[in-house]
Structure 1
Amino acid sequence: MRFGKTLHWLFLLLGVAVFTVSCVTTDTPVRRFEFQQPQMGVPFRIVLYAPDEVPARRAADAAFARIAALNSVLSDYDYDSELSQLSRTSGSGQMIKVSDDLWHVLKRSQDFAEQSGGAFDVTVGPAVNLWRKARREKKFPDESRLAAARLAVGYEKMKLEPNSRTVELVAPNMRLDLGGIGKGYAVDEAMKVLKQHGILRALVSGGGDLVVSQPPPGTKTWRIELPPLEENSAPSDFLYLKNKAMATSGDLFQYVQLDGNRYSHIVDPRTGIGLVDHSRVVVVADDAATADALSTAVSVLGIDAGLQLMEKRPEAATRISRKRMENIKTSETPNFRTWLVEP
């Protein structure tokens, strides 16, 4: 499953930038283990602490297996995935029974769509597909195809029936794209598996999404380097996290230049057009699915409306950096600075 959000820059930074800080007390002797696998089209990485390699590898293998299983449910690239099969029923009038995982992700997606006024919308798939083609061919999407795609986009066109856990895609030619929440959900689920295997100190990252549990022994937090807005820029800051999640959304690598304009891989579901601001959004939340979805919504909404959305989510925090021409504007919610202070 290849989700259309930030792919590898956070992973690369995490390769050198996950540190431990602030010594406190000793703990049961454990060792640090690190595992990585390509999953969902991006590198997934697990750092965990365990007494020895056998339980460490067993837990990591189980976590990666959970991610792989979710890919067969949530992928819009896999023709046979549950999501793809659901998309192919669009316009048929059928109410389709879905699995617990798909139901949970779609239900949360609709909640975020309503909260954001459609800035986050998993029905955006038809427009996303056109912009994937545009990036490959370096050519603006055909206007008639964009117009047709817009008719198939809109979260109100996806009907959920809670009692039966069935879903109807009302309009023809709808295509669901979970790129703004699926990786976050997978990261959360992988962490749950690690905890079930007795691993209480761990970090799981996939693309631009990350979740941490308790910090390494003798430390107070995990220290996470924030990615820069520009590719060759120095790190901007560090976040100090435990039992938290973080997601980043931006167009550092995924964009296309057309007629002098920079179009992001992130598509505004309300217009069907790739975002034209060069941006980076960081969201800290209690779980990665929430951080993932909010980072996408804030990217689409922009600074002012994005901050207004985040005011409704006091348990979460964001920093938004946007560049127009040579002017960079950075804003953040007041509580974001909580995670910038080393304890």
Structure 2
Amino acid sequence: MGSRFDITIVAADSLAAERHIDMMIAEVTRIENLISDWKSDTQISRVNQNAGIAPVQVDPEVFALTERALHFSRLTNGAFDISFAAMDRIWKFDGSMTEMPSPEAVKKSVERVGYQNIVLDRTHSTIFLKKKGMKIGFGALGEGYAADRCRDMMLALGIKAGIVNGSGDMSTWGKQPDGSDWVIGITNPLRKDTLLAVVPLRQSAVVTSGSYEKFVVFNGKRYAHIINPKTGYPATGVSSVTVFGPSAETANGFSTSLMVLGKDAGLKLIRKYPQYQYILVTDEGQIYSSPDLGIKKGSL
């Protein structure tokens, strides 16, 4: 998945801990070998290789993950879209960009993007991409899905507490050895060396999406590295979104979507799902959060 995974578990002894951590590493590797769009021999790569040619049969697990991704696309009217993988990478966030891409280049960059052209056949467990050159990728859901799977596997094996952190997509369970909650520090996006809040993890998953590390500024406006798959333009207006809830996969879907949708549409969406809490910080430093998190509304 091209991401770092950090795994922490509470176990009776170091041998048991190592054995269970090895099982989780094997599980992450198994998932990567199913859904990676970087490796040429995975099921998702075969789907991409057959875009515009033929449907490809995939495992029920891959089909179900794709189905959930499409549900998010419909929910957000395309602000979230796994076919973003075919987008031309015309925006550079490494300091090399000196001017904005032309409107024509931006429009062309998303020609092969569009979740409406992903066809699922549940009876035959197939995925078909209608347009030649289309691609799907699970960069926005894969780590969260793997983290959730590892947590559920450990719970089934009787491991009572732990954290799986897939590059910021965190799934947690149980409590620390002293009986206290796991806690997470939320980075202040306007001052990266300080914390906005320290929150006890009473829900099992937390995911943060942010634009405070990769962005460009043109004419005084900040453009995030998270691109709107409908328009081809980077997200603007929101510096960071942290989402708490039962599933890291779903929390990632929400955090990415809220970055793209912006404050008003994003908050309207997530407030329909009370099992997921949020902290949203705008580019101007305004803080919006779920009331039950106890974070004071205001500005940084």
1:85 CA drift (Å):
2.1
Shift of 1:168: 1.1
Please state whether the residue corresponding to 1:210 is helix, strand or coil: strand
Q: Note the C-alpha offset of 1:261.
A: 4.4
Deviation for aligned residue 1:263: 2.5
Distance, in Å, in 1 between the alignment partners of 2:293 and 2:78 is 24
- Contact 1:212–1:242 (8 Å) recurs in 2: no
| C-alpha contact (below 8 Å) 2:216/2:223 kept by paired residues | yes
Partners of 1:85 and 1:261 in 2: how far apart? 40
**In the superposition, relative to structure 1, how do residues 213 and 228 fare at CA in structure 2: closer, same or farther (>3 Å)?**
same
- Tell me the equivalent position of 1:67: 28
Match for 2:116 among 148, 156, 169?
156
Distance 2:290 2:51 in 1: 39
1:328 to 274, 277, 285: 285
Cα offset, 1:145, TM superposition: 4.7
- Using the size of structure 1 for normalisation, the TM-score is 0.79
* Structure 1 residue ranges, 4+ long, deviating more than 4 angstroms after superposition: 133-137, 139-145, 257-261
Are the structure 2 counterparts of residues 57 and 314 from structure 1 closer, same or farther at C-alpha, using a change threshold of 3 Å?
same
**Structure-1 separation of matches of 2:163 and 2:51:** 38
Q: Gaps (5+ residues) in structure 1? A: 2-40, 339-343
Give me the whole-angstrom Cα distance separating, in 2, the residues matched to 1:337 and 1:78: 44
- Identity of paired residues, percent? 27
Q: Does 1:187 align with 2:187?
A: no
Which residue in the other structure is 1:245 paired with? Answer: 205
How far 1:144 sits from its partner (Å)?
Answer: 4.6
Describe the shift of the 1:74–1:138 C-alpha distance in structure 2 as closer, same or farther (beyond 3 A): farther
Contact residue 138 and residue 258 of structure 1 kept, 8 A: no
Partner of 2:298: none
State whether residues 125 and 175 of structure 1, in contact with CA within 8 Å, keep that contact through their aligned partners in structure 2: yes
User: Do the aligned residues in 1 keep the contact of 2:279 with 2:288 (CA within 8 Å)?
Assistant: yes
3-state SS of 2:196 partner? coil
Partner in structure 1 of residue 256 of structure 2: 296
Alpha-carbon contact 2:93-2:225 (below 8 Å) kept: no
Report the AA paired with residue 114 of structure 2: G
Amino acid paired to 1:55? A
d(CA) in 1 for partners of 2:11 and 2:28?
21
1:86 aligns to what SS in structure 2? helix
Which deviates the most, 152-161 or 216-225? 216-225
Shift of 1:211: 1.1
Map 1:20-39 onto structure 2 (within 5 A). Answer: none
Please give the per-residue CA displacement for 1:266-325, whole angstroms capped at 9, x wherever unaligned: 1101101112335100001111001011100111111111111112211111111011xx
In the other structure, the counterpart of 1:213 is 173
Match of 2:62 in 1: 102
State the 1:255 CA deviation.
2.5
Name the residue aligned to 2:135. Answer: 175
Choose 115-124 or 146-155, whichever is displaced more. Answer: 146-155
1:14-25 matches, within 5 Å, as none
Partner of 1:151: helix, strand, or coil?
coil
Letter paired with 2:60: D
CA pair 284-307 structure 1, distance change in 2 beyond 3 A: same
Instruction: Determine the structure 1 residue equivalent to 2:242.
Output: 282
Task: Tell me how far 1:183 sits from its aligned partner.
Answer: 0.9
Residue number in structure 2 paired with 1:166:
126
What is residue 14 of structure 2 aligned with on the other side?
53
- Structure 1 position 257, deviation (Å): 4.2
Preserved contact between residue 262 and residue 278 of structure 1 (Cα < 8 Å):
no
1:128–1:308: structure 2 CA closer, same or farther, 3 Å change rule? Answer: farther
How far apart are 1:188 and its partner, in Å?
A: 0.7
Q: Count residues in correspondence.
A: 294
Question: Which letter does structure 2 place at the counterpart of 1:82?
Answer: Q
Q: CA deviation at 1:53?
A: 1.2
CA 1:73/1:128 → structure 2, altered by over 3 Å: closer, same or farther? farther
Task: Tell whether 2:81 aligns with 1:121.
Answer: yes
Distance (Å, rounded) in 2 between the aligned partners of 1:89 and 1:148? 22
Classify the secondary structure of the residue corresponding to 2:127.
strand
Tell me the distance in 2 between the aligned counterparts of 1:231 and 1:253. Answer: 11
What is the alpha-carbon distance in structure 1 between the residues aligned to residue 132 and residue 197 of structure 2? 46
Q: CA deviation at 1:153?
A: 1.1
Partner of 1:232: helix, strand, or coil? coil
Q: Is the 8 A contact 1:213 1:244 kept in 2?
A: yes
1:229 to 181, 184, 189: 189
